[in-house]
Chains A and B, each alone.
Chain A
Amino acid sequence: MRAGSADGPLERARDGLRAYRMITAMWIRSTLAYRASFAMTALGNLTATALDFVAILLMFSQVDVLGGYRLPEVAFLYGAASSAFGLADLAIGSMDRLGRRVRDGTLDTLLVRPAPVLAQVAADQFALRRLGRVVQGLLILGYACAALDIAWTPLKVLLVPLMLVSGAGIFMAVFVAGAAFQFVAQDASEVQNAFTYGGNTLLQYPPSVFGKDLVRGATFLVPIAFVNWLPGLYVLGRPYPLGLPSWAAFTPPLVAAGCCALAGLAWRAGLRSYRSTGS
């Protein structure tokens, strides 16, 4: 239909990845032109994202456990959530600009280019400084693994990287679904923040802290519980919320794939409903 779009879904995906790679490479080159400025903004990003962990540290300066969990355990959940969210934010965090593009009509520019729109929107304004959050998350995860006394099995070792990658996939699906919603709502990008940043904040604490309904919603409605709660609690050797079966810890890759597929469908529906402002 659109110029340059290949026929099969596989070709389209390859096209998209190529466009994404080229656009992000361009943004990275332009970012690194001012290295000192990049170093400072990346450091600022790291500090900004670390603030919520400082708040958790301050909490633990007053108590020994929170929701039955000690500091290293909370740090494990925090580090996993923050890294997964950071990866998704780094990859496609610019998606929340879509609403503005719909409002001011600049989305039209992307529609006439011979590359998939999703890839263009995702790579637009690619901000390498967002590595700060990933680094911060991994540092805290590293601290947690060192401080905790986990009986590591090959399965648990494997589960950690799997958890980060699937978690990033689930968060990316949330980003894309949120952007698809912007086609309808236009300037409701804050709703997206509730699910992305809000979801990230939720996952930084153990599920035992929250009400049953909230945990249920985060498991079955917007399945972010699969980002770090279920695989993380398996690694920590803690019982799962809602009495879920033990194999649930290994389902994140499937959940991520399902979420991405659904988000992709939502995106296509949104894009098809798009009416240009005409300006």
Chain B
Amino acid sequence: MCVRSGRFRLYAAVAAGSFRRFATYRIATMAGVFTNTVFGVILTYTYIALWDEKPGLGGYDQAQALTYVWLGQALLTTVAVMGGGFEDELMRRIRTGDIAIDLYRPADLQTWWLAGDLGRALFQLLARGVAPMLFGAVIFQLALPGDVLTWLATALAVLLGVVVSFALRFLVALSAFWLLDGTGVAQIAWLASTFFSGMLLPLNVFPGALGEVARALPWSALIQVPADVLLGERSGAELAAAYAFQAGWAAVLLAAGRLLQAVATRRVVVQGG
């Protein structure tokens, strides 16, 4: 028990350190808020045109569609849709061999990086998520929930989305053990997550089989599921199913990462650094 709480304190410290590290880039953060807001405005108008043409598209009314836009901007860096989290650094450490030092640490590699990524995500949500969302809510007609419970439910969905995103990016980073240069894999992963997270367009607007496949893939846990929770599309048993979907993908992907990590670690030992 004592060891356990010590471990927890270690990972909490890693998360807090990561939060503080991102908090030092104040001007970059403000610049990011500005850019998210500009893209939010542009997307808002295209969605207005789209929903004017076809009201109720994808089961959303126009206010819901616009809320989707601004939530997407708020979550873009939080769930690291376009990468930019820890994976570049981890890949660099694998390439340079610094990873050997990480493996000596009395901490688990995957949990260590997960803790750091959670700290980063929390900072991005507070710094780059809240301000654009407020701007969108002031300027446009959004359908934000009035009750605290829906917001809390959304927060949990976002947390699970961050974990799924982490698990995916951890797999991408580990590919560097075999490929040394992981930029190709990172690019493919970035394309897939931009397209299948619902960042470009809500996944329930995707037609036919493409939409069904897109909604079943892990990336939909990043944006689409949290958005549906916020928009009140998921409640009761459906909410539980949404969480189960996210948690299921998180468990599968984290386990895959763990397996790959074990295999990769053996490789490092064989090479002898």
- Size class of A's contact patch? 35 or more
The reply to whether B25 and A62 form a contact with Cβ atoms under 8 Å apart is no
B54: A residues at CB distance < 8 A: 62-63
Which residues of B in the span 108-167 have a Cβ within 8 Å of any Cβ on A?
A: none
In angstroms, Cα B205 to Cα A211, docked, is 24
Q: How far is the CB of A219 from chain B (nearest CB, A)?
A: 15
In angstroms, Cα B60 to Cα A52, docked, is 21
The reply to whether B39 and A194 form a contact with Cβ atoms under 8 Å apart is yes
Q: How far is the CB of A100 from chain B (nearest CB, A)?
A: 11
Residue of B nearest to A47 (CB): B191
The reply to whether B184 and A40 form a contact with Cβ atoms under 8 Å apart is yes
Answer yes or no: A153 CB below 8 A from chain B CBs.
no
Which residues of B in the span 4-43 have a Cβ within 8 Å of any Cβ on A?
A: 25, 27-28, 30-32, 34-35, 38-39, 41-42
The reply to whether A188 and B42 form a contact with Cβ atoms under 8 Å apart is no
Answer yes or no: A58 CB below 8 A from chain B CBs.
yes
- Among A55, A66, A67, A187, point to the contact of B201 (Cβ < 8 A): A55
B194: A residues at CB distance < 8 A: 51
Contacts known (A63-B54, A65-B53); A194 close to B38, Cβ less than 8 A: yes
The interface stretch among B44-52, B95-103, B169-177, B243-251 is: B44-52
The reply to whether B32 and A190 form a contact with Cβ atoms under 8 Å apart is yes
In angstroms, Cα B194 to Cα A48, docked, is 9
A62: B residues at CB distance < 8 A: 50, 54, 57, 205, 207
Q: How far is the CB of B42 from chain A (nearest CB, A)?
A: 5
The reply to whether A188 and B45 form a contact with Cβ atoms under 8 Å apart is no
The reply to whether B25 and A59 form a contact with Cβ atoms under 8 Å apart is no
The reply to whether A187 and B28 form a contact with Cβ atoms under 8 Å apart is yes
In angstroms, Cα B52 to Cα A62, docked, is 12
- Among B27, B42, B48, B191, point to the contact of A187 (Cβ < 8 A): B27
Contacts known (A188-B31, A191-B34); A214 close to B41, Cβ less than 8 A: yes
- Number of B residues, CB within 8 Å of A: 33
In angstroms, Cα B28 to Cα A203, docked, is 26
Answer yes or no: B86 CB below 8 A from chain A CBs.
no
A185: B residues at CB distance < 8 A: 27, 31
B32: A residues at CB distance < 8 A: 190
In angstroms, Cα B27 to Cα A198, docked, is 19
Contacts known (A51-B191, A194-B35); A59 close to B28, Cβ less than 8 A: no
- Among A40, A55, A64, A190, point to the contact of B34 (Cβ < 8 A): A190
Residue of A nearest to B57 (CB): A62
In angstroms, Cα B205 to Cα A194, docked, is 26
Which residues of A in the span 163-206 have a Cβ within 8 Å of any Cβ on B?
A: 185-191, 193-194, 198, 201-202, 205
A61: B residues at CB distance < 8 A: 207
Q: How far is the CB of A184 from chain B (nearest CB, A)?
A: 10
Bitwise, A63-98 to B at CB < 8 A (1) or not (0) is 111110000000000000000000000000000000
Answer yes or no: A261 CB below 8 A from chain B CBs.
no
In angstroms, Cα B195 to Cα A62, docked, is 17
In angstroms, Cα B41 to Cα A40, docked, is 34
5 contacts between A and B (CB under 8 A): A40-B184, A51-B195, A59-B46, A63-B53, A194-B34
A59-B46, A66-B53 given; 19 more Cβ-contact pairs under 8 Å: A47-B191, A52-B200, A58-B200, A58-B205, A58-B206, A62-B207, A66-B49, A187-B27, A187-B28, A187-B31, A190-B28, A190-B31, A191-B31, A191-B35, A194-B38, A198-B35, A209-B48, A209-B49, A210-B45
Can you list the 10 inter-chain pairs with the closest CB atoms, starting with the nearest? A188-B31, A190-B31, A55-B200, A194-B38, A194-B35, A63-B53, A187-B28, A209-B49, A191-B31, A190-B35
